[in-house]
Structure 1
């Protein structure tokens, strides 16, 4: 059988002659095929490297937005203010190692996994960043509105104080020029100091005992009696339901008198001390306050 397989008929050899050519039993990969395969491998590696870089950037962005939210101290309207990047970091680490060690066929799948995690992380970061930006804008608007409100209140207060000072100056000038004619009718000068006596006469006696220390003469006492007769009848429990004013001097609110003593609600002397201080500070004298009350209806 071997002889048959290896033999060539004489007639085929003679017919072929020297024109017979033998082809070697070997195979060479075409140059074009080699180039294409190398390009595919380089592309997968490059894509994987880009995914690793994108993962690092996404982790940095997640850390930054978490830090910015904490630093702002604002309520951004969402319960979860952090981005969990543990899965992304692990996947990126595996891919970075796999670039040099994974079989070429597995590299694209690992790359796609990292890319998907990068996309999800970036979406979370963008959402949190948007919520933070909105909260910052809202806080800036609130602060601007509060500043405008405070400035408006300050202007209104300054205008009111200027008008009050002008009225007080006018009233004081009028009271000074009219002398005793601006005073209320003369009243008896009380004896004793009235301290501890909450009755009208006791309160008046205590008030008069404070005149010398304030540099006021007896001529001012009638003005004070008339003023507080009009305001409260010298009743230490007098309460104006419409305005909320309280006590002998009708302080508004009554708690202002706490600066003269904690017992301002129950002690006529404490109320008188506060009222005399108010009159002296704003009008100079009881007659100045009485003159203003006569012209405006209040003091």
Structure 2
């Protein structure tokens, strides 16, 4: 006897509907349990019957009964759903085993990143984390080319395939050479700070770092007497400040680090300039990345709006010297 070839034209949801109806033998009750309309359930069962070219249920005045073919399908349908569930669990485990790759700007490396790594290790040890060090000009391309999964950075990103969310703003402190009059001061005003040339970052290394710093000072109606371009590396910048001829701005969290010849003073005024945000690809995120992002929001308070605008029109002009 030649066996009929079954048309493989069915969905997992149809097997689920079949099992619920087989258990209840009541279309109305099964539809309620499945959160669907009775016509939708009827259509799913009819489609499944058409695929196998058999009757799975019989309707009569006495009610609904399952056919011999339907009883044969019961074990198969349960097995299929179990295998699908097991496959889903294995895929989630495989996804979780893939490390979440993070690139963090220097502003977040002093406080936010250590807290994040410690919290994830304690609460989600199954999530592997990888930290990637990159210069600012490489970060967006690395995110778009899937070399990293999340950017923790101080400037917004504008790209169609990338989403950016502000998290928090950090107070700025004055970074000054350890000499008089600064060595005997406990705080400094913005007006006193701008008397020193300001160490900035080359536009080649960070396009908007300098406008961001100037905008923070411009909120108080002042501008540095002169700008001096320097490297973006934090230790290299501290070494230049220690030389005694320039001052710099840094996030408050960087005060935890000691560097000979340099002192950090809080401002008398509130100088908010270092904005921390996160950027990720505009697509469905993995479970591990979702957990990392939620933890970042919790750690930082999830502030959504920037505190300091970095539009160039708001920045006072200043002369740049080599």
What TM-score results when the alignment is normalised by the length of structure 1?
0.27
What TM-score results when the alignment is normalised by the length of structure 2?
0.25
Higher relative contact order (CA 8 A, sep 6+): 2
> Relative to total residues, which structure has the larger helix share, 1 or 2?
1
